[in-house]
Amino acid sequence: MIRLENVSLRYQDGPDVLQDISLELEEGSFHFLSGPSGAGKTSLLRLIFLAHRPSAGRVFLLDKDVSRMKRKQLALMRRQLGVVFQDFRLIDHLSVYENVTLPLRIAGVREANYRANAIELLEWVGLGHQLKAHPATLSGGEQQRAAIARSVITRPQIIIADEPTGNVDPDMGVRLIRLFNELNKMGTTLLIATHDAQLWQHFPHPRLHLENHHISMFGAEVAQ
């Protein structure tokens, strides 16, 4: 489902941010991604969600070599991904409801077919009372929750999240990971970068640890 083969990444003429990274995440798996600041976690995620091409090596998503895809093919592939960015990327002139349901409208889904589910999702993430609010009126944690709701609204095959609980309190953080768990049970593959050790201790998913250009894996599944 997600496979990197000897991948390196550098920005312009700088040093390698990632160097000779290989990993394979099976379809329907759930992994956390940890590592010290500056280790390259965000860069690794950006490679996987097709924001950058590798300087060397190959990236495969859904059994397709995306590192060699043309721009139009990449755009189609991105529709199968749900991404939670650290900077949220909400659209200022749209309401919370409109931001969250935007991927469905772009896909041409009729509102009658998604409105009830969208409202239920917003209630789950604690934004049921903010349907008509605009991003500028929300707290950072509320913007984070709206961004997460938008990333999962289409039930994508792969969800990639960069510190999705970084701006919410611990109880809401656990609630959001439970939402990701439910999607995982339906077959969605998840990769979630987090500094929060309590999350990977609370939820028994394997953890990838990136440090010094090397990835290690921890968790119960490693021994199986």
Domains of the chain listed by start with CATH number: 2-80+156-223 (3.40.50.300), 91-154 (no CATH)
CA dist 70 → 36, 73, 74, 75, 88 (Å): 33, 5, 6, 9, 26
- The crossing angle, in degrees rounded to 10, of helices 96-106 and 115-124 is 130
| Count of CB atoms situated within 10 Å of the CB of 191 | 23
Burial of 76 per CB tally in 10 Å (0-12, 13-18, 19+) = exposed
Name the residue with tokens 């379809």: 27
Task: Give the per-residue pLDDT at 221.
Answer: 47
Picking from 156, 219, 145, the residue whose alpha carbon sits closest to that of residue 186 is 156
In tens digits, what is the pLDDT along the chain, a chain of 224 residues?
899 999 999 888 778 889 999 999 999 999 999 999 889 999 999 999 888 889 999 999 998 999 888 888 888 888 889 998 888 889 999 999 999 999 999 989 999 999 999 999 999 899 999 999 999 999 988 998 999 999 999 999 999 999 998 888 888 888 889 989 999 999 999 999 998 888 888 898 999 999 988 899 887 544 33
Beta bridge partners of 204: none
Q: What local confidence, expressed as pLDDT, does residue 222 receive?
A: 45
